[in-house]
Chains A and B, each alone.
Chain A
Amino acid sequence: MTDTDLTPQRFFAEKFGIAQENLGRILGGALGKAADDGDIYFEYLVGEAISLEDGVVKKASKSVSQGAGVRAMAESRTGYGYSDDITIENLAVAARTARAIASESHQSGAVAVGPALPSSHDLYPVRTFPTDVPAEAKIDLLLRIDQIARAYDPRITKVFASVASQQKIVLIATAEGLVVGDILPLVRLSVSCIAEDGRNRQTGTHGGGGRYELSYLLDGHRYERFAREAARQAIVNLDAVEAPAGYLDVVLGPGWPGVLLHEAIGHGLEGDFNRKKVSAFSGRLGERVAAPTVTVVDDGTLPGRRGSLNVDDEGTPTGRTVLIENGVLRGYLQDRLNARLMGMPVTGNGRRESYAHIPMPRMTNTFMLPGEADPQEIIRSVKHGLYAVNFGGGQVDITNGKFVFSASEAYLIEDGQVTRPVKGATLIGNGPDVLTRVSMVGNDLQLDEGVGTCGKDGQSVPVGVGLPTIRVDGMTVGGTRR
């Protein structure tokens, strides 16, 4: 798709013969009189993955997914039909499936559908999509990564690396007759290394990317940094001692440790859980849920970020939603259904994994605004604690608020000094109160490198997180050393 005049509407019109007037008739077929809302979502996705192991690139794969779904909503009910064979006939069948939810036998007349609107943002202008770059360029990049990681230290014995690229074209027609489309690039480089020293075998992983061209990975020798970082983590972990077990003061480094916010408060503030009153945060808007120094936002409008979108998957322009302002709970993340039922504004957080899924409120890029403390001073303030700088994934039980996230690189703090590396350990806490114990917020906000994927109800979407260095006065650290 190097055609610069490519528009989503033209793409679906030419490839599948879906014209503006068809959209109106299909929507009419889905909606009926009792429906409150509905939409049609078209998606065409090309994905490619090229990977290296044993010092050579011998694995390459490519996939094409296309499909369209028709949705009708009546009160809190949703009907959804979809097909991967995009024809007017199949969309009419999908519309009937969707309409069944409103117990509706009669379809309404066609919805008046206008021409596609330009999207309100242009967050990822690319000339060449990463999927359009020939495999040879990616193979060359991977081979260089292998060399850099091995050169970092002779104890690096294995290097795995992959470049995953995507181009996604979507078109959304809403019940109001608005049509909006988007073309989304996504690229991600992942590097993982094994280090061995005769006694121990350890692993380190790093990577990054976003909604960019492939050249993003080359800019400022970014790929070299990712390769060295993966190697460095594996080497550091060779000397890791048992992690402590118990309740300790924890300093979280900047960037990816922001996964804390994603798990501890982000999911609990999604509109669906709060409309159903099943979240530990239900009914708590306006209450203090964090220290006064804590402000947390979800922002889908950051240029090029992995979690960013010009419009969400329901056609709503993304925005910046303040979740916690100076410690007080201010907002929920909404899709159309839950905003309507709660009488709240949409926030541009209606997202779905693909045409085969119904949208839900989801995060985009979730981060804490910087404070004033010097990161070194934060570390010095801790007598005995844990300094955690890299994490794997996390998970939350939104109903009781308990969440976990697992450190993959962490150090002991002894008398204000960062000392020995410790093995990975899971940190566990309670979402509604963990941020009340944030006693220092650093001036060094960083967003993550662009590797996050969030799972909810079986749907995965790319997201971002960010954090300045913070101190949490007490969290349970799941190590083995007592």
Chain B
Amino acid sequence: MAMERELARDLLSKVRNRGATEADVLVVETDSSTTQVRLREIEALKSARERRIHLRVMFGKSSAATSTSDFSRRALDQLVDETCTLARATAPDDYLGLPGSEALAKSIPDLGLFDATAQELGVEERIALAKQSESAALDYDSRIVNSEGAGLDTHASQIVYANTHGFVGEYRTSTFSLAVSPIAGEGGVMQRDSWYSVSRTFKGLEAPETVGATAAKRALRRLGARKVPTQDAPIVFDPDMAASLLRTIAGAASGTSIYRGTSFLLNRLGEQVAADSVTVIDDGTIPGALGSRPFDGEGVPTRRTVVVEHGVLQSYLLDTYCARRLGLTSTGNAAREAGGISVGSANLYLVPGTHTPEEIIGSVKSGLYLTELIGFGVNMVTGDYSRGAVGLWIENGELTYPVEEITIAGNLLEMWRHIDMVGNDLVFRGRTAAPTLKIERMTIAGN
């Protein structure tokens, strides 16, 4: 990464020569490959190398952020010009600035985020893996009648970050993801579902046969789905849906939503915002995990932050800017995007409880086991929540028939406070993970 370090240093000295007081540069290079098969035949192959430079400059308390995929000398000179012009046009902001040099990462731990297999895997092997996983779904049952295919995606990235405090840090990451989307059909009705595995390492992927068979089971169990009458009932969130619910905490506890006043958790630090059984942690230091990295988007080391402890809101997720605005300290959650810095969670999880998923389902006399949510009906300002839902109906503690074309609705604060059972089945399948959760009561709209 010597060339990228050189490029970063060069850009920093150029903007300094223009009078910038502070600046930072992020260089990201990614090799990616996509292999898609459908109905046992190869459907698409895609591969590429991409790179992008992100530049942020500050003139006192005014700043601008730019990025480009054009690495030519002329383009970079132009980038420097335009960034400086743009920064001078913006109004000053007292809280703006790089993290203090004392806050920057002193060492860069190897978190085991890179597996060179991402660049070494041959086309034939990729195709074979995707085909194996799709075949496992297609062969699982004669009612698997069609498929949207299976895909293996790999990414290998290198990240170099440098700023005008003299900090330079770098690391590599890789991701492997395998997904299968079979279609089950019976009596002229079709149902699609999917299953996936994502990992930093090739060995960490679930076996293709398991991914395919799980996808098939999920599609099959949706056959014969129907609506249920409108009612209030308990809802059991399966682990993926519980993780989706947990993302609402990440969004609402983000320092940006807090200082903007666009969060249902506003002014609730130290308050009970969830049931006693709910403890939520964000940890960017877990070896090999999908949300881990040695330092965040502005060079601050990642860390473990207890966001909610026994239902009490303990901490927001913060980058340097939000931290200064709120009179707090950065939690190492700065993410870099095209528009500059934003706040993002790392590995966010809900600490598992003691109940098995079977016990949780068994506790419900009549209610919904939720397996899919669709739509965007979440108002983060008020916490009002209303989304399309798919799942299985629970009767007398047993999963019975599939349901669809219904909504579930409530208010997030009420929902989090009424979690009355937390499962013991936490598995990291992505950056956000949660065990099976049960909410005592929500409104289901159907017939």
Contact = CB atoms under 8 A, between A and B. Distances in A.
B372 to A, nearest CB: 8
Given A58-B92, A81-B46, A426 B407 contact: yes
B306 interface: no
B287 to A, nearest CB: 28
A476 B231 CA distance: 13
B43 interface: yes
B275 to A, nearest CB: 19
A160 B90 contact: no
Contact of A83 (B49, B67, B189): B49
A452 B428 CA distance: 34
A404 B377 contact: yes
Contacts of B90: 57-60, 135, 139
Given A247-B230, A426-B409, A404 B192 contact: no
Contacts of B387: 404, 426, 478
Contact of A61 (B42, B85, B338): B338
Interface stretch (A21-29, A224-232, A274-282): A274-282
A395 B373 CA distance: 10
Interface string A57-100: 11111111111000000001111111111000000001001001
Contacts of B47: 81, 97
A101 B123 CA distance: 10
A476 B409 CA distance: 12
B366 interface: no
B146 interface: yes
A236 B86 CA distance: 37
B163 interface: no
B82 A62 contact: yes
Interface string B434-446: 0000000001111
Listed residue (B87, B89, B189) with the most chain A CB atoms within 10 angstroms of its CB: B89
B65 interface: yes
Contacts of B82: 62
A424 B384 contact: yes
Contact of B67 (A64, A101, A399, A404): A64
Given A58-B90, A203-B379, A397-B374, A478 B340 contact: no
A158 B382 contact: no
A268 B51 CA distance: 35
B386 A479 contact: yes
Give chain B's interface secondary structure class: strand
Interface in B188-229: 189-192, 222, 225, 227
Contacts of B410: 480
B83 interface: yes
A356 B183 CA distance: 28
Interface in A424-479: 424-426, 428-430, 476-479
B386 A399 contact: no
Contact of A478 (B52, B93, B377): B377
A310 B116 CA distance: 44
B395 interface: no
B189 A400 contact: yes
A82 B376 contact: no
A80 B260 contact: no
A416 interface: no
Contacts of B67: 61-64
A331 B225 CA distance: 29
Contacts of B232: 482
Nearest to B189: A400
A114 interface: no
Contact of B388 (A243, A280, A402): A402
B186 interface: no
Contact of B41 (A77, A424, A426, A428): A77
A202 B381 CA distance: 6
A277 B146 contact: yes
Interface in B372-430: 374-377, 379, 381-382, 384, 386-388, 390, 404-411
Nearest to A273: B148
A56 interface: yes
A379 B284 CA distance: 53
A14 B86 CA distance: 27
B1 interface: no
A58 B91 contact: yes
A245 interface: yes
A406 B123 CA distance: 42
A478 B225 contact: no
Interface stretch (B69-77, B166-174, B310-318): B69-77
A296 interface: no
A53 B445 contact: no
Contact of A425 (B38, B83, B386): B386
Q: Which residue among A63, A67, A277, A479 has the maximum number of chain B CB atoms within 10 Å of its CB?
A: A63
Interface residues of B, number: 82
B50 interface: yes
A425 B377 contact: yes
Contacts of A405: 375
Contacts of B433: none
A173 interface: no
A84 B50 contact: yes
Nearest to A135: B89
A335 B231 CA distance: 44
B121 interface: no
Interface string B334-373: 0000111000000000000000000000000000000000
The interface centre, meaning the residue of B45, B48, B75, B377 with most chain A CB atoms within 10 A of its CB, is B377
B180 to A, nearest CB: 14
B45 A80 contact: yes
Contacts of B89: 60, 134-136, 139
B377 A424 contact: yes
Nearest to B56: A61
B374 A392 contact: no
Contact of B374 (A64, A203, A402): A402
B377 A426 contact: yes
Contact of B375 (A83, A100, A201, A426): A426
A246 interface: yes
Contacts of B227: 476
A423 interface: yes
Of B47, B192, B409, chain A has the most CB atoms within 10 Å of the CB of B409
Q: In the complex, which of the residues A83, A396, A426 has the most CB atoms of chain B within 10 Å of its own CB atom? A: A426
A428 B407 contact: yes
A136 B86 CA distance: 9
A394 to B, nearest CB: 6
A64 B70 contact: yes
Nearest to B94: A58
A424 to B, nearest CB: 6
Nearest to A97: B47
Q: Which of B62, B374, B404 gathers the greatest number of chain A CB atoms within 10 Å? A: B374
B223 to A, nearest CB: 10
Contact of A428 (B51, B87, B406): B406
Nearest to A55: B91
A157 interface: yes
Contact of A79 (B45, B83, B231, B377): B45
B260 A53 contact: yes
Question: 7 tightest CB-CB pairs across the interface, nearest first?
Answer: A478-B407, A404-B375, A426-B377, A404-B388, A399-B192, A406-B377, A56-B91
Given A59-B65, A97-B47, A157-B261, 11 more contacts: A62-B82, A79-B45, A84-B70, A101-B44, A201-B382, A203-B262, A247-B230, A247-B446, A393-B376, A394-B376, A478-B377
25 contacts: A58-B90, A58-B96, A60-B64, A60-B87, A61-B65, A61-B66, A62-B86, A63-B66, A64-B66, A158-B261, A160-B260, A194-B381, A202-B381, A246-B446, A277-B146, A394-B376, A400-B404, A405-B375, A406-B375, A423-B379, A428-B406, A476-B405, A478-B377, A478-B445, A482-B232
Interface of B: 38, 41-52, 62-71, 75, 79, 82-83, 85-87, 89-93, 96, 123, 146, 148, 183, 189-192, 222, 225, 227, 230-232, 260-262, 266, 338-340, 374-377, 379, 381-382, 384, 386-388, 390, 404-411, 443-447
